[in-house]
Amino acid sequence: MFVYKLFMFVLSLSATVASPGSIKTFKLNDGRDMPGIGLGTWLGFISTNRNTKSDEVENAVKWAIDAGYRHIDTASIYDTEDQVGNAINKKIAEGAVKREDLFVTTKLWNDAHAPYTVLPALRNSLKKLNLDYVDMYLIHWPIAQYLNGTFYDVDYLETWEAMIAVQKKGLAKSIGVSNFNIAMLERLISNSRVKPANLQVEINLNLQQPELLEYCKEQNIVVTGYTPFGSIFPNRARIEAPPPRVDDPKLVDIANKYNKTVPQIVLRYLVELNIIPIPKTITKSRVEQNIDIFDFKLTQEERDLFKSYDKNYRTIEPKMWQESPYYPFEKKNPSLTHDENLITFSNGNILAPKLKLNDGREIPALALGTWLGNNTKPSSNEVELAVQWAIEAGYRHIDTAWAYKIEDQVGRGLANKFPDVPRNEIFVTTKLWNDRHARDAVVPALRESLKKLNLDYVDLYLIHWPVGQFANLTYDPTDYLETWRGMMDAKELGLTKSIGLSNFNEQMIDRILENGLEMPAVLQVELNLNLQQPELLEYCKQKNIVVMGYTPFGSLFYSKAKPNAPPPRVDDPALVKIAEKYNKTVPQITLRYLIELGVIPIPKSLTKSRIEQNIDIFDFKLTKEEKLVLKSFDREYRTIPQLKWLDNPFYPFKRPHM
């Protein structure tokens, strides 16, 4: 390996810049030309041991254009469109390239498959790219999902018709699909007057997909290959990944023969398969090396060697989508697989997956709660320690509130970890208390919370309750519509990135929307085994509002259960049996159940081991039968009914019979 690294270093010193004219181009079935290599801009999920620079993709794109690339690949979900656009526009302004010389690809994400959402999604991408059109617009996956991660019933045929419409408007010169299989392509072609011009799929030495390539050749569909290096780099290969690696002696010999690197000859092999590879890198020398592959050809013997590495092994296999009727790959046992959204970093801890909010931002799917109860007075640093332990365990979402009286401790806990974890990787939620419901009181209240938190902004600000109440406990008659306008003011000032509600019901949210006000990004409510609120969850799914669940353990623990609380308890035999099956605790399978309902649970704990256990829930999935057992415990029983506010007109819950 040392000899190979030395060889790569020496080679990088003599890297050449490719002439755009020397790069192979493909004629699309709509008559346009597509460059035969592109720069990929998906950096993967970022772990805490890597500080993401705000301009690293922008720099990579500029280096790529200087090196001769004329094809840049991005996507809405990559969160890099703005950097791609900055680089392109700067290079155009410099006179280094003309817009018509570039081929820009972006993609429609799963949450915008409904036909009426395709055009707005593309316009949003164009706004971030600062371009009038893209050259290629792809359906990223055939799977439609709401922002909370649950599936919704939109056929990709409907989405495709909307793609045709945006092409007709000139906003996308060509259209195609990504991660579709042969059966899906056949169905699409037989039911549409427009054939996809491009298919983007994973292609590398371990996954060469010859049948799919032959089908696309017959249909005159150009194929783009993402993840072209597959598992050749040891630091990115999973344990079970088949060979080769970058130091494979046979590959090194071939590379030496052509005075190239192993990644270069891998890319060359894909080019000779008539694939457009889109390697990604943010290192200047590698950007230049990856395009320097058009001055040699492999022999038949060398191509046969490369072909021998095909093992039908996928590096990108989103098994958490297997329940979708449009899952494009071979299905495997879902109860024993790991979430592909899971991010693992070097110390073995994990980051939770993220959900997309309806304002375009992302929110981690699990949070640390910091409310210790009305009768608990925290010590001077116990919440501070809990926050530090949580971040060390992989939490990236901390939930607090002004009323909890611990924002200062949360702030200190965060400050102690910020040297290791960038601020933009932490999602902080806090809440407006009932005594600040007047519109002109909202911004000052948030500024006070920010002062305690020692932050410039929070990621999410919630109205804690719809009930307004002065400090003397008499009711404030302020309509929550006015309070919501104050929340919009706070967002406009940049003091919070997103805004939402807590303890509101469907009718209250409808009233906000009927008055033409901003859609809440999040609703936080009580959710646990005894209070599963299926109608509310379905409503939020339809409105694309992400749901957070507080008090996720409900009455599981004997010490916290009221005498009239329904079962189960933590020692319930049915729950214990499920927990033992997965080598988990009953609280862990309870949290996992909420995750699978599309809810963001916010468990609270001051115990280090429990904090660590609560996030360790992303390496298994419950079966349908197990979920039915957990569902059966729903009794519409609230642990926090707030009966003291029953006489308030904005009391949000069903009033009990008195």
Other C-beta atoms closer than 10 Å to the C-beta of 478 total: 17
Sign of CA dihedral 604, 605, 608, 613: negative
* Calpha distance 578→628 (Å, rounded): 12
- Annotated catalytic residue, options 404, 582, 593, 651: 404
Q: Are residues 269 and 303 in contact, defined by beta-carbon separation less than 8 angstroms?
A: yes
Cβ-count burial of 323 within 10 angstroms (0-12 exposed, 13-18 middle, 19+ buried)?
middle
* Calpha distance 160→153 (Å, rounded): 14
Please name the residue that has the structure tokens 């005894």: 530
Task: Tell me which DSSP letter residue 45 carries.
Answer: P
Please name the residue that has the structure tokens 């931002």: 361
Question: Alpha helices of 262-343 — where are they, by DSSP H?
Answer: 262-272, 284-291, 300-307
Instruction: Tell me whether residue 404 is one of the annotated catalytic residues.
Output: yes
* Calpha distance 536→534 (Å, rounded): 5
Alpha-carbon dihedral of residues 533, 537, 539, 544, nearest 10 degrees?
A: 160
Which H/E stretch holds residue 63?
Answer: helix 56-67
Tokens representing residue 490 in the block: 């706070």
Q: Are residues 293 and 268 in contact, defined by beta-carbon separation less than 8 angstroms?
A: yes
**Three-class SS of residue 119?**
helix
First vs last C-alpha separation in the chain: 77
Cβ-count burial of 518 within 10 angstroms (0-12 exposed, 13-18 middle, 19+ buried)?
middle
Phi (first) and psi of residue 379, to 5 degrees? -70, 175
* Calpha distance 218→517 (Å, rounded): 51
* Calpha distance 123→557 (Å, rounded): 50
* Calpha distance 579→590 (Å, rounded): 9
Other C-beta atoms closer than 10 Å to the C-beta of 160 total: 22
* Calpha distance 356→361 (Å, rounded): 6
* Calpha distance 596→334 (Å, rounded): 12
How many CA atoms, within 13 angstroms, populate the side-chain half-sphere of residue 215? 15
Q: What angle do CA 313, 319, 323 make, to 5 degrees?
A: 135
Active site residues: 404
